[in-house]
Structures are given as C-alpha cells and as structure tokens.
A = this chain, B = another copy of it.
Amino acid sequence: MDNRPIGVFDSGLGGLTAVKELMYQLPNESIVYFGDTGRVPYGTRSNETITKYVFQDVRFLLNFDIKLIIIACGTASSVALEAVKKEFDIPIIGVVQSAAAKAVKVSTQKNIGIIGTQGTINSGSYERKIKQIDHLAATFAKACPLFVPLVENGYLDHEVTRLIAQEYLQPLKEKHVDTIIMGCTHYPLLKRTIADIMGENVNLIDPGAETAKYVKKLLKEKDMLAEAGAKPKYKYFVSDSIESFSKLGSLFLEKKINESVEKIDIEKY
C-alpha cells in the first residue's frame, strides 16, 4: 500500500486526457498535475529545449512526496524520457512504451500508422519501440501539426477539421495501416473524425489510456496501490495564468474541475 500521489506532467493541458484515464482506472490514487502552459507547445521546439523543460518539470514534481511520474506529453516522452530516467531514482513512465506494445498486439497485419506533433514524429520514438517489440512490423508516421490548434479552438467536429484530417491521413490509408497510434494528448478528442476517415476496421490507440492501464498493473505488482478506501486528492499546477485553466482543462478532462489550481514559476526549477 502506498497512498502517495502520482505525478503527471504535460506541455500544457492536453495531458489531462491521460489524467482522466488514471482517475477512471485508479479511482483511489491521488494525483499532482503540472501543465507547462507558459511554454506550451513542446511539439515544435528543439530536442535541447524540450529536454531542458522536461528536467525542470520533473524537478518541480519531486517537491511533492510522489511515488511515480507519468510524462503524459507524447513529444516529451519521445525526446527526453531516457535522459530523465538516467538522472532520477523515481519510476518515470512515458506514453510511448505502452502504446507501442498495444499497437503491436492488436495489429493483425503488423502495419501500424503513427500520428503526432512534428517533434514526436521527428524523434522516431514510436517506430523504434514498435520495431524493438516486433522487428518485422511496418510503421508509417505522419506529423499532424494543425490538430492541436484545431482542438484547442474547439474545432472538434467541423468541416475544416475533416478536410485537414483527410489530407493528413491519406498517406496512411494508401499504406493500408490497420492500427493508428494517436501519439499526442489532443488527438483522442478527434477520434470520431479519424475513425470516420480511416474506417471502422482500423484500431485507434490512445497512449494516455494504455499508460494508465500499465501504471495500474505496475503499482499492483509492486504493491504500491493506494488503499481501496483512500479518498483521492487532486492538485493542479500551471506555469501561465490560471484563468483559462478551467475552460480548456474541462475540455480534456471531460468534467468540471472543482479543485483549485495554482500558478508556479517553472524557470526556478
């Protein structure tokens, strides 16, 4: 038993899609969330800058008595997971591993598409992980840079989003992928649009959901789950104004956020 909270961070508020899954899979676990809204997005920045930011994010979360850290951001997991794992003792889990394992498991043709930010796609992280699990699997990656601004501006179910998605997904259709990893926190909100274009036989993998399942299994194995009766506490931190947190945060968490949110100066860490 271990009632200490789980730390989760993301480049912004998109990581709350992973928190939603954690709350669902592990309803007794307390969570400390940090969204780096003052420096979002990570997806277009250089590896050097992303790595610097990720170290600061981890150092901030270590101020809380946490038992495990989840990097909910696809870009940060892809670029900087290995570097922070080497540096810190606490278990740090990225979203790449679980999503890659699930994709290989459900893909009947071993023909897997990956969509994500430019940073995630450039890193090749999902492809590497998939080939480690099954070196015969074929992978096709496509950056979808407009998906994040479309989601953040509420264009979830809109003609424009369908047109952009058709353009982005066309190369994956031509490769006949049977599985797609939605490699960015925002993309599960476009699941219906993506499914409409790809057809219902294509599996869509949500890395946040797969990671939540993996963390549940890991905590169980290590006997580190919170007590069954524990009442979870949720704390939210951001690096820019807290004003827009409730609105955008609720979009990703898919429920109203009642807990308080605090602004911190991430450059200090």
Give the B-binding residues of A (Cβ under 8 A): 38-39, 44-49, 145-146, 148-150, 152-153, 155, 159-160, 163-164, 240-241, 243-244, 267
Question: What chain B residues lie within 8 Å of A38 (beta carbons)?
Answer: 39, 45, 49
The answer to whether B159 touches A149, judged by C-beta atoms less than 8 angstroms apart, is no
The 8 closest A-B pairs by CB, nearest first: A46-B241, A149-B149, A160-B163, A145-B153, A160-B160, A49-B240, A45-B240, A46-B240
Number of copies: 2
Can you name 18 A-B residue pairings with CB atoms under 8 Å? Answer: A38-B45, A44-B244, A45-B240, A45-B241, A46-B241, A47-B241, A49-B241, A145-B152, A145-B153, A146-B150, A146-B153, A146-B155, A148-B149, A149-B149, A159-B163, A160-B163, A160-B164, A267-B267
**Chain B residue, CB-CB nearest to A161:** B160
CB distance from A85 to the nearest CB of B (A): 23
CB distance from A159 to the nearest CB of B (A): 6
**Chain B residue, CB-CB nearest to A40:** B44
The answer to whether B241 touches A48, judged by C-beta atoms less than 8 angstroms apart, is yes
CB distance from A160 to the nearest CB of B (A): 5
CB distance from A47 to the nearest CB of B (A): 8
Q: Which of A46, A48, A164 has the most CB of B within 10 A?
A: A46
Distance of A44 Cα from B160 Cα, bound (Å): 21
Question: What chain B residues lie within 8 Å of A149 (beta carbons)?
Answer: 145-146, 148-149
Question: What chain B residues lie within 8 Å of A160 (beta carbons)?
Answer: 160, 163-164
Distance of A162 Cα from B186 Cα, bound (Å): 24
Question: What chain B residues lie within 8 Å of A49 (beta carbons)?
Answer: 38, 240-241
* Known pairs A46-B243, A160-B160 / 8 extra A-B pairs, C-beta < 8 Å: A38-B45, A48-B241, A49-B240, A49-B241, A145-B149, A146-B155, A163-B163, A267-B267
CB distance from A203 to the nearest CB of B (A): 27
Distance of A152 Cα from B47 Cα, bound (Å): 20
Distance of A156 Cα from B62 Cα, bound (Å): 44
CB distance from A31 to the nearest CB of B (A): 24
Distance of A132 Cα from B38 Cα, bound (Å): 33
Question: What chain B residues lie within 8 Å of A44 (beta carbons)?
Answer: 244
